[in-house]
Amino acid sequence: MPLNKNNTQSLQSLARKLAILYATTTFSVLLIASGLLYWSVLDHLQKEHQSLVSAKIVELRHYFKDSSLLGETLYSLIDAEHHHSQVTHSSAIHPGIPHHIFLRIFDEQNNLLVESNLPQALPTPLNFPLIDQQDTTSISIIKVNPESDQLFLLGSAWAETTSNKQARKVLIHALLKLAPDESLLSNFQRTLAAVLFFGVLASAFTGFWVTRRGLRPLRQITETIQNINVQQLNEQVNSGQWPKEISLLANAFDQMLARLDQSFARLSQFSADLAHELRTPVNNLMGTAEVALSRDRSPEEYREILESNIEECGRIARMIDELLFLARAENPKTEISCVAFQIEKEFEVITEFYDMLASDQQVSIKYQSNQVTLFADPNLLRRILSNLISNALRYSKANGHINLSASISKDKSVVITISDTGEGIDEDLLPQIFDRFFRADKSRQRDKQGSGLGLAIVKSIMDLHGGQVLITSKLQQGTQVKLIFPQNKS
């Protein structure tokens, strides 16, 4: 049967899901990495800006402390420092672009003494941070955004100096324009966004391609499975070239095919055996009926024919009953009623039932249980014992013996042993002994007393109890059957 569209869509859906998973994972990783990188650059720039302004203020404090600066001398110093900052103060992250530091000096009465010349006018007002006049060691720095497109770093500090041999204090205002670095950050943001976008796209396409390539063995396995039918259950799916995970799946499928092949073989053999077993009694019924109708007969003759037909019908009824029992026993949902009971009582009942038949065949039946208690279904145990003793009587000769015993093994399992001195079974046939309709003695294929299902029923009952049945046998020496029940639960 060809692969339908729904199956194809499911395969493609798996590839898409994995591609989306790859893309989502990549997006998360890149987003975290980009955020950490952006935060690191931003933090570095802020520290660099503050360090630049602080260093300039500290430098001016040293000038004021060591010199008496008045008038043109002070102006020349401020102007020289401004030009010096234009040349030397460039960002380590954005080299080549100078950072212009604008300076203002005020006296104690807040009168402007001198300020740097700038090619562009500064926005007003600029609220520099306030600082205590008595504090000539601290530096206060803040970032302001007076206009939407400009950022400034403002610093304030008091410094001590002398004028006309008198101690004086001056207020230093330092201003740093952050426009060059803000432009850098904007470009950096766009670069990170582009990397994030194209990284996710590349991950999605790569993930989809890798997934499709990785799922190729599954599609090849699907094509192989499509060619398998009832006549080709021995087809091997695993070629030995798959990856380890796919190879495990293929091996499991091969094992399933092997089990199906064996099941179909057993089913075919069972159907053939069933048809063969039913054909004999049906032919007997038809033959006797045709003979009875061939001419007029006496009432006694008709009676004999009817009795023969009833016997054949009984054989068919027993076979159907046993087949129905096997079908119920092999159903995993079948439940059994287990109770604790003395095995000796069951041995006594079953031997009494078969005692007269055994006496007619000059066979003795003995039992020994040693007061062993068994946790099992009594009715099913009687059926097991009945089938085994019936088989033993059927293949035992005169003066033969059938012994029943029960014991407890080292692992606390209960072992029931049924042994006889009958004809025995060829060891080569023992693996097939539990197959339905199998008879070790081909000369007894038409034996009306058995249906060939007795041992199959025994095996099914033991499986229901979670136990096992073992058979050992030698030709002309007899057969021994061991029924091993799990540990008593009573």
Between 30 and 165, where is the model more confident? 30
| pLDDT score of 448 more than 50 | no
Bond prior to 125 in cis (omega within 30° of 0): yes
Least-confidence region, from 71-80, 285-294, 423-432 = 71-80
Structure tokens at 475: 């030709």
pLDDT for res 273: 63
SS3 407: strand
| pLDDT score of 475 more than 60 | yes
- Indicate the pLDDT class of residue 190, thresholds 50, 70 and 90: confident
pLDDT for res 482: 92
Buried b (16+ CB within 10 A) or exposed e, 318-329: ebeebbebbeeb
Mean pLDDT of 374-384: 88
Element (H, E) at 203: helix 179-214
- Indicate the pLDDT class of residue 274, thresholds 50, 70 and 90: low
pLDDT for res 88: 45
* 118: DSSP letter: -
* 124: DSSP letter: S
Q: What is the mean pLDDT of the chain?
A: 77
The pLDDT tens digits of the residues spanning 294-321 come to: 888 888 888 888 888 887 787 778 777 7
Mean pLDDT of 430-448: 62
Burial of 135 (0-12, 13-18, 19+ CB in 10 A): exposed
Query: 């009594």: which residue's tokens?
Result: 378
CA distance 91 to 111: 33
Structure tokens at 37: 């990188």
- Indicate the pLDDT class of residue 3, thresholds 50, 70 and 90: very low
CA distance 285 to 295: 17
| pLDDT score of 83 more than 50 | yes
pLDDT for res 63: 79
Closest to 215 measured CA to CA, from 12, 1, 2, 3: 12
SS3 115: strand
CA distance 61 to 55: 10
Between 268 and 205, where is the model more confident? 205
CA distance 252 to 265: 20
Q: Amino acid identity of 449?
A: Q
Residues in the chain: 490
400 near 420, Cβ under 8 Å? yes
The pLDDT tens digits of the residues spanning 97-144 come to: 556 778 888 888 888 888 876 656 666 677 888 888 888 888 888 888
The pLDDT tens digits of the residues spanning 232-272 come to: 666 666 666 667 767 777 787 778 777 777 777 767 766 76
Buried b (16+ CB within 10 A) or exposed e, 56-79: bbeebbeebeeeebeeeebbebbe
